Structure 1
Amino acid sequence: MKLAIIQNNHKTTSPATLTPEMDRKIWRKLPVELLERILSFLPLKTFISLQPTCKYFRSLLFSPLFLSCHSNSFLSSFLLLSHPQSPHYHLYDTVSNTWRNSNLSLPRTLSFAPLVSTSTSLFCFSAVPDFSNSAFLIHNLLARSSRVIKFPEYPFIYERLTLITNHNGYKLFCLSSGSSKNHSYVYDSRTRIWSQYTGFDQLLGESYHQEGVLFNECLYFATREPFLVVSFDLSTKIWAVCEANMPEEVTFVRLISNGINGNRLFMFGGIGRNGISRSMKIWELELDGNNDQRKWNEIESVPELMCRKFGSVCYHNYERVYCFWHQGMICVCCYTWPEVLYYKVSRRTWYWVPKCPSIPDKWSCGFKWFSFVPQLYGFV
């Protein structure tokens, strides 16, 4: 075994400054299980720097077995904040409940490409400059991998793009009303093909206002008044109306599902009259045991003071309100406010994410939040 001598400021050495350097032959002879155990104790920055060391290390670091066993030990999860006036993305660590001092760094070509959707570790950008603004780009930041997905047609006017990930890959879903007839498009990463479907205009019309949320292998959408919840089955490609009766006197609604599992569907909305919410609540879609029909069951109300504050920051203009799921939390956001109101489902408690200290006070609108759950193992 060799010794690496580290010199101090006085250019002298001592036994305390001698650190052992393991012979490469010893590394090669270590059992894979032991090597995986050693690597799992490394900090994330060191872990990432090992990628170009050798082909063996890279294949080990990105193997599904290693990542499924050890990725949670060194990867945190974040709320990602973007703003049109900033080329950087600000990170709020939801494990330590602190803002990170460093911003998220992206390749130069993506610095000003609009981020339209995220799912776990994957980012979806639109209007990528290198491809004449006619393609989406799927990017995994930690794995440093990406894929360009050309638009299904050109020009392509799309709305409410949704990125859906699972263990077999991912799908892109979007609605397009640029032609004489409205269409929905689905891209499957396994076949790398766009598929086109019709029929959403009969149910959604032009009243939809949020991207779809995944629940039981279907994408669910909420419409404007008269409020409806409609779904698109990703297997059968059929549109349908959710038969559960909506709560009375709702002023706005947003849907949230519990991540890529998609086995729970929540609805956040306001209760009031004449477009003014007196209170805000969360419902969950559940099966009524008496008649085997689904119903919206109220599970929580926003505390009065928090409800007043949120109503004032969005000026009761609920078109600015959007919601998403992040690691057991229902996040409620507003384009005009740099804070997030979130509800921890397991604890049944409400909190505020504080304003990012690096955001200037003069920024008054355009705040867009995303969920970011880093995973090294993510197909693009």
Structure 2
Amino acid sequence: MDRAAVEPPPRKGSVLDAKIWNKLPEELLERVLLYVPLKSLVRFRCVCKKWNIYVLEDTFTDLREQVSPQRPWIVMTSTRDSMFAYDSGLGTWHDVPIPFNAYSLHVVAAAGGLLCFSNAWFHWPIMFVCNPMTQKWRQLPRMNTWMISTVGMAYDDATATFTVLVCGRLEDHIMITEVYDSKSDVWTLSGTPFSARKYGGDISLWCDGIFYCLTYPFSTLCLLSYDLSQGTWCEVPIRMPSPIMSPALVESRGTLLLVGGLEEQELFGIQIWKLDTVKQEWQELERMPLQLCKEFEAKMVPSKPLSCFGTGDSIFLSIPTNDYMPALMYDLQRRTWNWWPVSDFPATLPALNIGQSSGISFEPRLNAHV
């Protein structure tokens, strides 16, 4: 048989025929956009005003969440004008631009698709809140806090507003709590926190209407809560697992989780507990398999404890280093463990991140308003 007779005719060009694509049915266009990766969808907003408005509508974003739920991104490093984040859904790394000069700033909190940047842990800190997908941002007014100890953030989908909780010290070292409301654009002095001995942790988690944080030092570990509606702190009357190494709190779809290392009979292990709010006790949820524990322990650096963070159905345990940062990912739904990829990781980490928060997870969204 003549080979030329069965081969398809050569393509006339790679340019799409506008007469055809301009007539694409709306239903088909929507179906395509629902499955487009978020980073590509951000670029598609520039095609025309119609697309820009369409992908920001609540009906589209709600439907996209149902058919193509967004897996969390992990912000690992930040520089003056960009941040490096891991997309756990696609298994790739993204270099995301920051729409303001972030010199000496790093991400300290996340909620509802928004990131809070600050030079926290410096005197007279400043704060910015940004949606990295839309590149919209605002600088928060100056607060009274002289030195920050803990930052927390919450996003209200119903009102499209966000709240930032800051606890720290005044210049005379008196403990202070301040709450920022994006609707009024002001900081409000709130409940008096505990003494410095009972207060610590650099991130507070928002879970079911309450901010939670752990005490520091961990030798006197207990769970503290801040009721935003009442403006009051209290110590949660619950017995903490002991002893526990590098404890960390994680919020997963309205449930508070505790993650930490354990040493039992000279064996290293990592365990996950969930908070039973009815019985007021921590219940064991998962233990890392023994072989993975051995691999994880072999990579650990004695002077740098493991770091844990997560959102949605994902928990990440990383080992801070000066170069590649190995991390294990645990899927709460599938109950699976996996190392994240080595390829495309930044050659070196900015000095700003070393010794501080080594990862913050968030679920990027186009419809999160700043």
**Relative to 1, partners in 2 of residues 1:296 and 1:43: Cα closer, same or farther, differing over 3 Å?**
closer
Q: Report whether the alignment pairs 1:347 with 2:334.
A: yes
Partner of 1:166: 156
Output the CA distance in 2 between the equivalents of 1:33 and 1:303: 46
TM-align CA RMSD: 3.8
* Runs (5+) with no aligned partner, structure 2: 1-9
Separation (CA, whole Å) in 1 of partners of 2:36 and 2:334 = 31
The structure showing larger relative contact order (alpha-carbon pairs under 8 Å, at least 6 residues apart) is: 2
Amino acid at match of 1:355: V
Q: In the alignment, which residue of structure 1 is the partner of 2:4? A: none
Deviation, structure 1 residue 218? 0.8
2:3 matched to which residue of 1?
A: none
Q: Does 1:376 align with 2:366?
A: yes
Would the aligned equivalents of 1:88 and 1:111 in 2 still touch at CA under 8 Å? no
- The equivalent residue for 1:9 is none
Cα distance, 1:343–1:183 mapped onto 2, change above 3 Å: same
- 8 Å contact kept, 1:184–1:198: yes
Give the match's secondary structure for 2:221.
coil
- Match of residue 194 from structure 1: 187
* Aligned residue runs from structure 1 range 1-380, under 5 A: 19-22=16-19, 36-37=30-31, 39-40=33-34, 47-51=41-45, 55-70=49-64, 73=68, 77-82=72-77, 88-97=82-91, 99-100=92-93, 103-107=95-99, 109-110=101-102, 113-127=105-119, 135-153=126-144, 156-167=146-157, 168=159, 169-180=161-172, 181-202=174-195, 205=197, 207-223=199-215, 224-258=218-252, 261=253, 263-272=254-263, 278-287=268-277, 293-316=279-302, 320-336=305-321, 338-360=325-347, 365-366=354-355, 368-380=358-370
Is this contact kept in 2: 1:159–1:175, CA < 8 A? yes
- Determine the C-alpha separation between the residues in 1 that align with 2:296 and 2:12: 61
Where in structure 1 are there 5+ consecutive unaligned residues? Answer: 1-12
In the alignment, is the contact (CA less than 8 A) between 2:246 and 2:260 conserved in 1?
Answer: yes
TM-score by length of 2: 0.78
Q: Distance in 2 between matches of 1:272 and 1:245?
A: 18
Answer whether contact 2:149 2:200 (CA < 8 A) is retained: no
**Paired residues of 2:152 and 2:211 also in contact (CA < 8 A):** no
Count of residues in Structure 1 that have an aligned counterpart in Structure 2: 348
Structure 1 residues 28-85: Cα deviation after superposition (integer angstroms, max 9, x where no partner) = xx7x76764465466656643454565554333311112211366496642232167x
Of stretches 61-70 and 248-257 in structure 1, the one that deviates more from structure 2 is 248-257
| Aligned counterparts of 2:97 and 2:138: Cα–Cα separation in 1 | 18
1:8 aligns to what? none
Of 328-337 and 307-316, more deviation after overlay is shown by 307-316
By how many angstroms is 1:267 displaced? Answer: 0.9
Q: CA separation of 1:375/1:22 partners in 2, compared to 1, >3 Å: closer, same or farther? A: farther
Task: Decide whether the 8 Å contact of 2:56 with 2:367 is kept in 1.
Answer: yes
TM-score by length of 1: 0.76
Compared CA separation, residues 242 and 277, structure 1 to 2 (3 A): farther
Q: Sequence identity of aligned pairs in percent?
A: 20
Q: CA deviation at 1:116?
A: 2.1
| Pair 1:314–1:268, CA change in 2 (3 A) | same
Once the two structures are superposed, residues 193-243 of structure 1 have per-residue CA deviations (whole angstroms, 9 ceiling, x without a partner) of: 2111233124x6355224111222111111222211111111112212222
Give, in whole Å, the separation in 2 of the partners of 1:361 and 1:152: 33
